[in-house]
A = this chain, B = another copy of it.
Amino acid sequence: MNGHAVESGSHLTQAGIEAAKTMAHEESAIKELDASELKITRATAPRVVPEVNSKEVFDMKTCTDHMVKVTWTRDEGWHAPEIEQYGPLTMMPIASCLHYATQCFEGMKVYRGYDGKLRLFRPDKNCARLNMSSARVALPQFDPVELGKLMKKFLGIDGPKWLPKSRPGTFLYLRPAIIGNGSEIGVTAPAEVLLFMVAVLWPDFSAPRPGTKPAPPGLKLLASKNDTRAWPGGFGYAKVGANYGPAFVAHMEGRKLGYDQILWLLGPEHHVTEAGASNFFVVWKTKQGALQLVTAPLEGKIILEGVTRGSVLELARERLIEGSKYLTPEVGSIEIVERQYTMPEIVEASKEGRLVEAFVAGTAYFITPVSAINFKDEEIEIPMGDDGSSGHYAALIKKWLRDIMYGNVDHKWGVVIDEE
């Protein structure tokens, strides 16, 4: 409310003032998320850190010693955050999150730098997106800055052991999530919610799983035929569980046919949207000869606003311009284009020899080149650079991002964590 209105000469009646006071009181009773209230209970059964890219890590079942938990209730708001030993969650079988997908999450990585420091990459972006996703599935709002503080505190505790300085160039996967976990089966916004955060041992997907041969470089994508990931008026832009489970069947069918990911198309014109759970970029020459880096736009709320996607675009717009010191003999200046584009455009570019390269961008798969797309049972080959390992733009942008993540360069996007 507007404070001025309560001053003398206000049109508020006494009853109105009382009502305003009552409201203010009620509002203050609903507590905000407050990282300064954090309670820490150390793990009593710490575990052994597995080897990098070991089978255990590829199984993606191992978390670090601790986890963050914060309860929210409709009546009281956010309770005091806690860091405690990693362990099971308990909830009644009628918890909303198990039936109605009242759940959202973030995917981030924490990096052990070559300079020995621990870093997050643009954590403010993920914290803000989690808040947005939470609202989309009727879960509560919070101050993203406070979540960022909890994240740093958590990683300050588990980072030194689980991402040791003896392993520069490695990372952990960080998974914050919010779920409606109260005992209530009503089809409505949950009255009790849990925000939690765990750190998972995560493989480098470009390395082979122990006991298997290295995969050829480059992802092979299968363009979706009947399944649609997201739709106008839907929730494709939010990182909510509802975007993932329903996509697994198409993904599994693709794997059976020898493809790594689904390239999600939309509508009768076959607009290109995302690849698997990553954003998708293509580099082509236009019919007029202009070199372009193209990706789907955020407008329409179909695709996820990937942090990696945004960073690729920002770096490209800053560095891939005429006269830039970052240009190389292989990588010249390029137009950056966010627009709706279609699979038939890619097919045409391929046929006319204008297709330069393509790659996916996201946290899980980072920057990974794409070597082929199957569209309507025809496979389009995509150039993979001179040595067949990656297109030049993908390789250069990947290097820039790695340099920031692992502290080879000092950059505002690399946020250093204070360690215990």
Contact = CB atoms under 8 A, between A and B. Distances in A.
Contacts of A177: 93, 98-99
A408 B351 CA distance: 70
A46 to B, nearest CB: 17
B136 A249 contact: yes
A215 to B, nearest CB: 16
Nearest to A187: B277
A364 interface: yes
A60 B186 contact: yes
A80 interface: no
Contact of A246 (B226, B232, B242): B242
A276 B188 CA distance: 11
B93 A91 contact: no
Interface in A177-195: 177, 179-180, 183-189
Interface string A311-349: 000000000000000000000000000000000000000
B248 A245 contact: no
A100 B244 contact: yes
A177 B92 CA distance: 13
A373 interface: no
B246 A234 contact: yes
A91 B94 contact: no
A138 B90 contact: no
A198 B94 contact: yes
Given A233-B227, A241-B100, A245-B102, A188 B251 contact: yes
B246 A61 contact: no
A200 interface: yes
A74 to B, nearest CB: 12
Interface in A73-96: 86-96
A242 B97 CA distance: 10
B94 A63 contact: yes
A138 B184 contact: no
Nearest to A198: B93
Nearest to A197: B93
A263 interface: no
Interface of A: 59-61, 63, 67, 86-103, 105, 135-138, 173, 175, 177, 179-180, 183-189, 196, 198, 200, 224, 226-228, 231-235, 240-246, 248-249, 251-252, 276-277, 364
Given A60-B94, A100-B244, A187-B364, 16 more contacts: A61-B185, A63-B93, A87-B92, A89-B93, A90-B90, A94-B198, A94-B200, A100-B248, A101-B242, A137-B245, A137-B246, A185-B200, A187-B251, A188-B248, A228-B233, A242-B245
